[in-house]
Amino acid sequence: MGIFSKRRRRKQNDSTLGKLPFLRWLGPGATSAAVIAVAYMAVTGKWDFSILDTFRGSDDVVRLEPISLGNRSERPPESIRVATFNIKTFGESKSSSQEVMQQIAQIVYRFDVIAIQEVRSSDGEGTPIRRLVDLINASGGQYAATLSDPIGTDGYKECYAFLWDESRVRMIPDSAYVVFDSTNRITREPMVASFEARLPPGDMRRPFRFTAINAHTKPDLVNPSSPDGEINVLDDVFVRVRDYESQVAGEDDIILLGDLNVNSKNLGELATIPNVHSIAGDLPTNTRRTETYDHILIDYDVTREFTQAYGILDLQKDLQLTEEQALLISDHMPVFADFSRYEVPLTRTATRPLPVIR
Protein backbone atom coordinates (compact mmCIF):
# COMPACT_ATOMS: atom_id res chain seq x y z
CA MET A 1 0.00 0.00 0.00
CA GLY A 2 3.02 2.30 0.38
CA ILE A 3 3.21 5.42 2.46
CA PHE A 4 -0.39 6.38 1.74
CA SER A 5 -3.23 4.22 2.84
CA LYS A 6 -6.41 4.48 0.83
CA ARG A 7 -7.95 7.95 0.78
CA ARG A 8 -11.66 8.08 1.32
CA ARG A 9 -14.13 10.56 -0.15
CA ARG A 10 -17.80 10.48 0.63
CA LYS A 11 -19.88 10.31 -2.49
CA GLN A 12 -21.45 13.64 -3.37
CA ASN A 13 -24.87 14.03 -1.81
CA ASP A 14 -27.65 15.02 -4.19
CA SER A 15 -29.90 16.32 -1.45
CA THR A 16 -30.87 19.94 -1.16
CA LEU A 17 -28.71 22.43 0.69
CA GLY A 18 -30.86 22.43 3.78
CA LYS A 19 -30.64 18.65 4.12
CA LEU A 20 -26.99 18.24 3.21
CA PRO A 21 -25.04 16.55 6.02
CA PHE A 22 -21.53 17.58 6.95
CA LEU A 23 -19.50 14.36 7.27
CA ARG A 24 -16.07 13.38 8.41
CA TRP A 25 -14.62 9.89 8.73
CA LEU A 26 -13.15 9.01 12.10
CA GLY A 27 -10.67 6.39 10.93
CA PRO A 28 -10.20 3.24 8.87
CA GLY A 29 -12.13 1.12 11.33
CA ALA A 30 -14.99 3.51 11.83
CA THR A 31 -18.52 2.24 11.39
CA SER A 32 -21.42 4.33 10.24
CA ALA A 33 -22.26 5.03 13.86
CA ALA A 34 -18.86 6.65 14.26
CA VAL A 35 -19.40 9.20 11.52
CA ILE A 36 -20.15 12.73 12.65
CA ALA A 37 -23.06 14.32 10.80
CA VAL A 38 -23.90 17.94 11.43
CA ALA A 39 -26.54 19.96 9.58
CA TYR A 40 -24.93 23.12 8.24
CA MET A 41 -25.05 25.87 5.67
CA ALA A 42 -22.40 25.51 2.98
CA VAL A 43 -20.61 28.21 1.02
CA THR A 44 -23.11 27.82 -1.81
CA GLY A 45 -24.56 24.48 -2.72
CA LYS A 46 -22.71 21.47 -1.41
CA TRP A 47 -19.58 20.84 0.57
CA ASP A 48 -17.88 17.61 1.39
CA PHE A 49 -14.71 16.43 3.07
CA SER A 50 -12.16 13.85 2.04
CA ILE A 51 -10.06 12.50 4.86
CA LEU A 52 -6.34 12.37 4.20
CA ASP A 53 -3.79 10.05 5.71
CA THR A 54 -0.50 10.77 7.42
CA PHE A 55 2.87 9.43 6.36
CA ARG A 56 6.27 9.52 8.02
CA GLY A 57 8.54 8.33 5.24
CA SER A 58 8.58 5.25 3.06
CA ASP A 59 10.39 2.08 2.18
CA ASP A 60 10.93 3.26 -1.38
CA VAL A 61 14.46 3.65 -2.66
CA VAL A 62 15.42 7.32 -2.40
CA ARG A 63 18.40 8.40 -4.43
CA LEU A 64 18.94 11.69 -2.60
CA GLU A 65 21.86 11.67 -0.17
CA PRO A 66 21.45 12.81 3.47
CA ILE A 67 22.32 16.44 4.06
CA SER A 68 23.10 18.90 6.84
CA LEU A 69 19.75 20.36 7.86
CA GLY A 70 21.15 23.29 9.79
CA ASN A 71 20.53 24.49 13.33
CA ARG A 72 17.04 24.11 14.75
CA SER A 73 17.83 26.62 17.51
CA GLU A 74 16.33 29.41 15.40
CA ARG A 75 12.93 28.13 16.50
CA PRO A 76 12.07 29.65 19.89
CA PRO A 77 11.75 26.84 22.49
CA GLU A 78 8.57 28.26 24.01
CA SER A 79 6.92 28.84 20.63
CA ILE A 80 5.99 26.89 17.55
CA ARG A 81 6.78 28.38 14.17
CA VAL A 82 4.06 28.02 11.52
CA ALA A 83 4.76 28.81 7.86
CA THR A 84 3.34 28.79 4.36
CA PHE A 85 5.36 28.19 1.20
CA ASN A 86 4.33 27.92 -2.44
CA ILE A 87 7.03 25.70 -3.94
CA LYS A 88 6.44 26.49 -7.58
CA THR A 89 5.64 23.38 -9.63
CA PHE A 90 6.96 20.99 -6.98
CA GLY A 91 6.92 17.83 -9.06
CA GLU A 92 9.10 15.06 -10.43
CA SER A 93 11.77 17.28 -11.96
CA LYS A 94 12.33 19.52 -8.95
CA SER A 95 12.17 16.67 -6.43
CA SER A 96 14.82 14.76 -8.41
CA SER A 97 17.44 17.49 -7.99
CA GLN A 98 19.80 16.91 -5.06
CA GLU A 99 20.76 20.58 -4.89
CA VAL A 100 17.21 21.95 -4.99
CA MET A 101 15.88 19.33 -2.56
CA GLN A 102 18.70 20.11 -0.15
CA GLN A 103 17.60 23.73 -0.07
CA ILE A 104 13.92 22.86 0.29
CA ALA A 105 14.66 20.43 3.14
CA GLN A 106 16.72 23.06 4.94
CA ILE A 107 13.86 25.53 4.52
CA VAL A 108 11.25 23.13 5.89
CA TYR A 109 13.50 22.25 8.84
CA ARG A 110 13.26 25.86 10.07
CA PHE A 111 9.54 25.43 10.80
CA ASP A 112 7.41 23.32 13.10
CA VAL A 113 4.40 23.26 10.77
CA ILE A 114 4.49 24.31 7.13
CA ALA A 115 1.67 24.48 4.59
CA ILE A 116 2.84 23.83 1.03
CA GLN A 117 1.09 24.69 -2.22
CA GLU A 118 1.70 23.62 -5.85
CA VAL A 119 2.67 20.00 -5.24
CA ARG A 120 2.44 18.18 -8.58
CA SER A 121 1.91 14.45 -8.13
CA SER A 122 1.37 12.83 -11.51
CA ASP A 123 1.71 9.32 -10.06
CA GLY A 124 -0.96 9.89 -7.42
CA GLU A 125 1.48 8.81 -4.71
CA GLY A 126 2.80 12.20 -3.62
CA THR A 127 6.34 11.45 -4.75
CA PRO A 128 7.75 14.99 -4.21
CA ILE A 129 6.47 15.15 -0.62
CA ARG A 130 7.52 11.56 0.06
CA ARG A 131 11.04 12.33 -1.14
CA LEU A 132 11.15 15.49 0.95
CA VAL A 133 10.07 13.72 4.14
CA ASP A 134 12.49 10.87 3.46
CA LEU A 135 15.37 13.30 2.90
CA ILE A 136 14.67 15.27 6.07
CA ASN A 137 14.32 12.16 8.21
CA ALA A 138 17.37 10.46 6.69
CA SER A 139 19.26 13.61 7.65
CA GLY A 140 18.21 13.50 11.31
CA GLY A 141 14.77 15.12 11.32
CA GLN A 142 11.50 13.70 12.61
CA TYR A 143 8.95 14.99 10.13
CA ALA A 144 5.60 13.71 8.93
CA ALA A 145 3.23 14.93 6.24
CA THR A 146 -0.28 14.75 4.93
CA LEU A 147 -1.15 15.39 1.30
CA SER A 148 -4.39 16.11 -0.53
CA ASP A 149 -5.53 14.44 -3.70
CA PRO A 150 -4.85 16.50 -6.86
CA ILE A 151 -7.29 19.42 -6.95
CA GLY A 152 -8.24 21.77 -9.77
CA THR A 153 -9.50 21.73 -13.33
CA ASP A 154 -9.05 18.86 -15.75
CA GLY A 155 -6.21 20.71 -17.46
CA TYR A 156 -4.24 21.56 -14.32
CA LYS A 157 -4.31 20.02 -10.87
CA GLU A 158 -2.09 20.35 -7.83
CA CYS A 159 -1.98 19.04 -4.27
CA TYR A 160 -1.80 20.75 -0.92
CA ALA A 161 0.46 19.40 1.82
CA PHE A 162 1.23 19.96 5.47
CA LEU A 163 4.59 18.94 6.95
CA TRP A 164 5.37 19.09 10.65
CA ASP A 165 8.14 18.30 13.13
CA GLU A 166 6.86 15.32 15.12
CA SER A 167 9.22 16.08 18.00
CA ARG A 168 7.45 19.40 18.62
CA VAL A 169 3.97 19.11 17.12
CA ARG A 170 1.42 16.41 16.44
CA MET A 171 -1.40 16.37 13.95
CA ILE A 172 -4.74 15.55 15.51
CA PRO A 173 -5.66 12.07 14.20
CA ASP A 174 -8.11 12.08 11.29
CA SER A 175 -8.29 15.87 11.28
CA ALA A 176 -7.05 16.46 7.71
CA TYR A 177 -9.64 16.97 5.02
CA VAL A 178 -10.37 18.91 1.85
CA VAL A 179 -13.34 21.22 1.58
CA PHE A 180 -15.37 20.40 -1.53
CA ASP A 181 -17.60 22.95 -3.25
CA SER A 182 -19.68 21.35 -5.99
CA THR A 183 -20.70 24.75 -7.37
CA ASN A 184 -17.05 25.47 -8.25
CA ARG A 185 -16.84 28.87 -6.64
CA ILE A 186 -13.21 28.11 -5.92
CA THR A 187 -10.96 26.11 -8.25
CA ARG A 188 -8.62 24.60 -5.65
CA GLU A 189 -10.72 23.84 -2.59
CA PRO A 190 -8.69 24.46 0.60
CA MET A 191 -7.19 21.70 2.70
CA VAL A 192 -7.70 21.71 6.47
CA ALA A 193 -5.83 20.00 9.32
CA SER A 194 -5.56 20.45 13.09
CA PHE A 195 -2.35 20.41 15.13
CA GLU A 196 -1.28 20.49 18.75
CA ALA A 197 2.03 21.46 20.32
CA ARG A 198 3.94 18.73 22.18
CA LEU A 199 4.93 19.64 25.72
CA PRO A 200 7.73 18.25 27.90
CA PRO A 201 6.83 15.29 30.13
CA GLY A 202 5.23 16.48 33.35
CA ASP A 203 4.19 19.85 31.94
CA MET A 204 0.53 20.10 32.92
CA ARG A 205 -0.27 23.25 31.01
CA ARG A 206 -2.63 23.05 28.05
CA PRO A 207 -0.82 22.78 24.71
CA PHE A 208 -1.71 25.19 21.93
CA ARG A 209 -4.08 23.55 19.48
CA PHE A 210 -5.19 25.09 16.20
CA THR A 211 -6.80 24.35 12.87
CA ALA A 212 -4.96 25.42 9.70
CA ILE A 213 -6.61 26.16 6.35
CA ASN A 214 -4.20 25.76 3.42
CA ALA A 215 -5.37 27.81 0.42
CA HIS A 216 -4.19 28.71 -3.09
CA THR A 217 -6.38 31.00 -5.18
CA LYS A 218 -6.25 31.10 -8.96
CA PRO A 219 -4.70 34.42 -10.06
CA ASP A 220 -7.17 35.17 -12.85
CA LEU A 221 -10.17 34.34 -10.64
CA VAL A 222 -9.14 35.94 -7.35
CA ASN A 223 -10.84 39.30 -8.17
CA PRO A 224 -11.58 41.03 -4.83
CA SER A 225 -13.98 43.49 -6.50
CA SER A 226 -16.34 40.72 -7.64
CA PRO A 227 -18.62 38.81 -5.27
CA ASP A 228 -17.68 35.72 -7.27
CA GLY A 229 -13.94 36.31 -6.88
CA GLU A 230 -12.16 33.44 -5.13
CA ILE A 231 -10.81 35.72 -2.41
CA ASN A 232 -14.45 36.43 -1.53
CA VAL A 233 -15.12 32.72 -1.12
CA LEU A 234 -12.37 32.29 1.45
CA ASP A 235 -14.24 34.32 4.06
CA ASP A 236 -17.03 31.74 3.83
CA VAL A 237 -14.45 28.96 4.12
CA PHE A 238 -12.88 30.59 7.20
CA VAL A 239 -16.22 31.09 8.96
CA ARG A 240 -17.67 27.67 8.08
CA VAL A 241 -14.53 25.79 9.09
CA ARG A 242 -14.36 27.78 12.32
CA ASP A 243 -18.00 27.05 13.11
CA TYR A 244 -17.58 23.37 12.33
CA GLU A 245 -14.37 22.92 14.32
CA SER A 246 -15.91 24.78 17.25
CA GLN A 247 -18.96 22.55 17.17
CA VAL A 248 -17.25 19.18 16.85
CA ALA A 249 -13.91 19.79 18.56
CA GLY A 250 -14.32 22.93 20.65
CA GLU A 251 -11.60 24.56 18.53
CA ASP A 252 -11.55 28.34 18.14
CA ASP A 253 -8.02 29.01 16.84
CA ILE A 254 -8.16 29.10 13.04
CA ILE A 255 -5.13 30.00 10.91
CA LEU A 256 -5.72 30.60 7.20
CA LEU A 257 -2.46 30.53 5.28
CA GLY A 258 -1.30 30.18 1.71
CA ASP A 259 -0.80 31.86 -1.63
CA LEU A 260 -3.82 34.15 -1.98
CA ASN A 261 -2.48 36.12 -4.97
CA VAL A 262 -3.48 39.48 -3.47
CA ASN A 263 -1.89 42.01 -1.14
CA SER A 264 -3.41 42.87 2.24
CA LYS A 265 -5.38 45.79 0.77
CA ASN A 266 -7.23 43.41 -1.56
CA LEU A 267 -8.35 40.69 0.82
CA GLY A 268 -11.95 41.48 -0.06
CA GLU A 269 -14.55 39.92 2.19
CA LEU A 270 -11.85 38.18 4.23
CA ALA A 271 -11.03 41.63 5.61
CA THR A 272 -14.62 42.07 6.76
CA ILE A 273 -14.44 39.22 9.30
CA PRO A 274 -14.08 41.01 12.65
CA ASN A 275 -10.49 41.07 13.95
CA VAL A 276 -9.12 38.89 11.12
CA HIS A 277 -5.91 40.35 9.69
CA SER A 278 -2.91 39.28 7.64
CA ILE A 279 -0.01 38.94 10.06
CA ALA A 280 2.74 39.95 7.63
CA GLY A 281 0.69 42.62 5.91
CA ASP A 282 2.25 43.85 2.69
CA LEU A 283 5.77 42.53 3.13
CA PRO A 284 6.94 41.32 -0.31
CA THR A 285 6.66 37.55 -0.52
CA ASN A 286 7.80 36.81 -4.05
CA THR A 287 11.43 35.91 -4.65
CA ARG A 288 12.09 39.12 -6.58
CA ARG A 289 10.66 41.09 -3.61
CA THR A 290 8.22 43.09 -5.71
CA GLU A 291 4.80 41.67 -4.77
CA THR A 292 2.78 40.36 -1.84
CA TYR A 293 0.95 37.13 -2.56
CA ASP A 294 1.29 34.95 0.55
CA HIS A 295 -0.44 35.45 3.88
CA ILE A 296 -1.07 34.06 7.34
CA LEU A 297 -4.40 35.29 8.71
CA ILE A 298 -5.74 34.92 12.23
CA ASP A 299 -8.46 36.37 14.41
CA TYR A 300 -6.44 38.58 16.75
CA ASP A 301 -9.27 38.61 19.26
CA VAL A 302 -9.24 34.82 19.57
CA THR A 303 -5.76 33.51 18.75
CA ARG A 304 -3.95 35.23 21.59
CA GLU A 305 -1.16 32.67 21.28
CA PHE A 306 0.38 34.72 18.46
CA THR A 307 3.62 36.11 19.94
CA GLN A 308 3.76 39.08 17.52
CA ALA A 309 6.89 37.60 15.94
CA TYR A 310 6.74 36.89 12.23
CA GLY A 311 8.82 37.21 9.11
CA ILE A 312 9.73 36.27 5.57
CA LEU A 313 12.48 33.75 4.90
CA ASP A 314 14.49 35.53 2.21
CA LEU A 315 15.80 32.82 -0.09
CA GLN A 316 18.69 34.98 -1.27
CA LYS A 317 19.71 36.68 1.96
CA ASP A 318 19.04 33.90 4.46
CA LEU A 319 20.22 31.01 2.28
CA GLN A 320 22.96 33.01 0.56
CA LEU A 321 21.67 32.25 -2.92
CA THR A 322 21.73 34.24 -6.11
CA GLU A 323 18.37 35.25 -7.55
CA GLU A 324 18.80 32.63 -10.24
CA GLN A 325 19.46 29.91 -7.65
CA ALA A 326 16.52 31.05 -5.52
CA LEU A 327 14.16 30.93 -8.48
CA LEU A 328 15.10 27.30 -9.05
CA ILE A 329 13.45 26.65 -5.69
CA SER A 330 10.42 28.90 -6.13
CA ASP A 331 9.19 32.31 -7.17
CA HIS A 332 7.71 32.65 -3.67
CA MET A 333 9.36 32.98 -0.25
CA PRO A 334 8.09 31.33 2.96
CA VAL A 335 6.05 33.46 5.36
CA PHE A 336 6.07 32.45 9.03
CA ALA A 337 4.62 33.40 12.41
CA ASP A 338 5.36 32.26 15.96
CA PHE A 339 2.73 31.06 18.42
CA SER A 340 3.04 30.13 22.08
CA ARG A 341 3.23 26.41 22.78
CA TYR A 342 0.60 26.96 25.46
CA GLU A 343 -3.06 27.83 25.19
CA VAL A 344 -3.90 31.39 26.22
CA PRO A 345 -7.31 31.85 27.86
CA LEU A 346 -9.81 33.35 25.45
CA THR A 347 -10.84 36.92 26.17
CA ARG A 348 -12.92 39.36 24.20
CA THR A 349 -11.05 42.53 25.14
CA ALA A 350 -8.02 42.13 22.91
CA THR A 351 -6.97 44.70 20.37
CA ARG A 352 -4.69 44.05 17.45
CA PRO A 353 -1.08 44.22 18.76
CA LEU A 354 1.64 46.12 16.97
CA PRO A 355 3.50 43.50 14.88
CA VAL A 356 7.20 42.95 15.45
CA ILE A 357 9.00 41.93 12.27
CA ARG A 358 11.76 39.43 12.76
> What's the confidence (pLDDT) of residue 347?
65
Q: What percent of the chain has pLDDT over 90?
A: 70
Cα gap 47→53, rounded to integer Å: 20
Residue 135, number of CB atoms within 10 A of its CB: 25
Q: What's the full length of the chain, in residues?
A: 358
> What's the confidence (pLDDT) of residue 183?
84
Residue 185, number of CB atoms within 10 A of its CB: 19
Which runs of E-coded beta strand occur in 182-314?
191-197, 209-216, 254-259, 276-278, 294-299, 306-312
Residue 105 domain-assigned (yes or no): yes
> What's the confidence (pLDDT) of residue 281?
95
> What's the confidence (pLDDT) of residue 121?
85
Confidence of residue 71 (pLDDT cuts 50, 70, 90): confident
Whether pLDDT at 244 is above 50? yes
Q: What percent of the chain has pLDDT over 70?
A: 79
Residue 16 domain-assigned (yes or no): no
Whether pLDDT at 206 is above 80? yes
Q: What residue numbers bound the domain in which 83 lies?
A: 51-357
> What's the confidence (pLDDT) of residue 52?
54
Largest CA distance in the chain: 56
Which DSSP symbol is given to 33? G
Confidence of residue 55 (pLDDT cuts 50, 70, 90): low
pTM of the predicted protein model = 0.83
Residue 20 domain-assigned (yes or no): no
Cα gap 179→43, rounded to integer Å: 10
Residue 130 domain-assigned (yes or no): yes
Residue 345 domain-assigned (yes or no): yes
117, HSE (Cβ side, Cα atoms, 13 Å): 30
Q: Given the DSSP bridges, would you call strands 335-340 and 79-90 parallel, antiparallel or unpaired? A: antiparallel
> What's the confidence (pLDDT) of residue 67?
85
> What's the confidence (pLDDT) of residue 58?
59
pLDDT 10s digits, 93-143: 999 999 999 999 999 999 999 999 999 987 778 999 999 999 999 999 999
Residue 18 domain-assigned (yes or no): no
Residue from 12, 46, 25 nearest 240 by CA = 46
Residue 46 domain-assigned (yes or no): no
Kindly report the CATH number assigned to the domain that includes residue 209: 3.60.10.10
pLDDT 10s digits, 324-344: 999 999 999 999 999 999 999
Whether pLDDT at 3 is above 60? no
What total of structural domains would you count in the chain? 1
Query: Average pLDDT over the chain, rounded to whole?
Result: 83
pLDDT 10s digits, 268-317: 999 999 999 999 999 999 999 999 999 999 999 999 999 999 999 999 99
Cβ 165 vs Cβ 143: under 8 Å: yes
Whether pLDDT at 61 is above 50? no
What string of DSSP letters covers 296-354? EEEETTT-TTEEEEEEE--TTTTTT--HHHHHHH-SB--EEEEEESB-----S---PPP
Residue 155 domain-assigned (yes or no): yes
